[in-house]
Amino acid sequence: MKRISRREFTRTCAVLFGTTAAVPMNPLWGKRESCSLVNGVQIGVQSYSFRDHSLDATIKAIGSLGIDSVELWQGHLEPRGLSGKKLSRWRLESTNSFFNESGKKFQQVGIKLNAYNYSFRKTMSDVEIERGFLMAKALGANVITASSNPSMARRIDLFAQKHTIRVGMHNHAQGGKKDEFEGPEDFAVAMEGTSNYICINLDIGHFVAAGFDPLDYINQHHDRIVTLHLKDRKKGLGPKSPILKFGTGDTPIKEVLQLLKAKKYPIPANIEHEIKGQPAMKGVQESFEYCRKALA
């Protein structure tokens, strides 16, 4: 993989933001300020958006778009085609050094891992659950996002507390399925009786499709929201409704971004491109441009 130099990275920022000035220092990162930190709001990308790319190709694509914050999808590290017991065996036998080297690939080009996406399922052993926390540590991530079940929250919480890593539970428009994350009640069930390490990865598109208001929910629960997923959907259509181009559905993407800006909520907002038929590069680029304009 070709490394992106600091000079090239700064030049990309200059092109995106229409300036030739040096990118300012960010004291929180101890390095130059994020190119995709727009008026105080950290725009990132869920690497699942580039699910048809290899890890190296994904890193190159994200860097070329001027985005320097990523939620890393586990499928970019796990061998393609493995499932069931074979995948479980790989997870248990994979070395921490593999994940450490994978994390360095992002660090070398100035991309910060805001989370590692490792989904906890009921069939997992405790060892396989804990393995996800060790992977995240080796990668350099202090947040895990997970498609999981409310009934698993207390089990996951034991390892989250042990490793001091927050876990953001991811919601989908499930059509009212039992023991799935869909709306406020499901998050409340998971967080009842658990520590503050059990948190929320709020997908605002799915939240709207399931009939809920992300603006109100973010205002009430911003302290437990570790990441957002940005996509556009129509209200109340449920799991089979299409995912639409930014700004064409009912999801208040602009209003959510402006809320983060106004209230200074330190929540990474990750673009997740899932529009069928549209190449990832084009979709993420258009989405990033929409976010920048929304925060201007």
Q: How far is CA 174 from CA 128, 216, 250, 254, in A?
A: 26, 20, 18, 25
Q: How confident is the model at residue 13 (pLDDT cuts 50, 70, 90)?
A: low
- Count each helix (H run) and each strand (E run) in the chain, helices first: 11, 11
pLDDT for position 17: 43
- Integer-rounded Cα Rg, in Å, for the chain is 18
Q: By CB neighbour count within 10 A (0-12 exposed, 13-18 middle, 19+ buried), where does 153 fall?
A: buried
The owner of tokens 């990033």 is 288
pLDDT for position 34: 55
Looking at per-residue pLDDT, the higher value among 24 and 212 belongs to 212
pLDDT for position 164: 98
pLDDT at 9 over 60: no
Strand partners, 146: 169
pTM of the predicted model as reported, rounded to 2 decimal places: 0.89
pLDDT at 126 over 50: yes
pLDDT at 273 over 60: yes
What does the pLDDT average to over 189-214? 97
What end-to-end distance do the CA atoms of the chain give, in Å? Answer: 34
pLDDT at 262 over 90: yes
3-class SS shares of the chain: helix, strand, coil, % to 5? 45, 15, 40
Q: By CB neighbour count within 10 A (0-12 exposed, 13-18 middle, 19+ buried), where does 18 fall?
A: exposed
Structural domains of the chain ordered from first start: 37-294 (3.20.20.150)
CB 160 within 8 A of CB 135: no
Q: Over the stretch 157-190, which tens digit does the pLDDT of each residue have?
A: 999 999 999 999 999 998 889 999 999 999 999 9
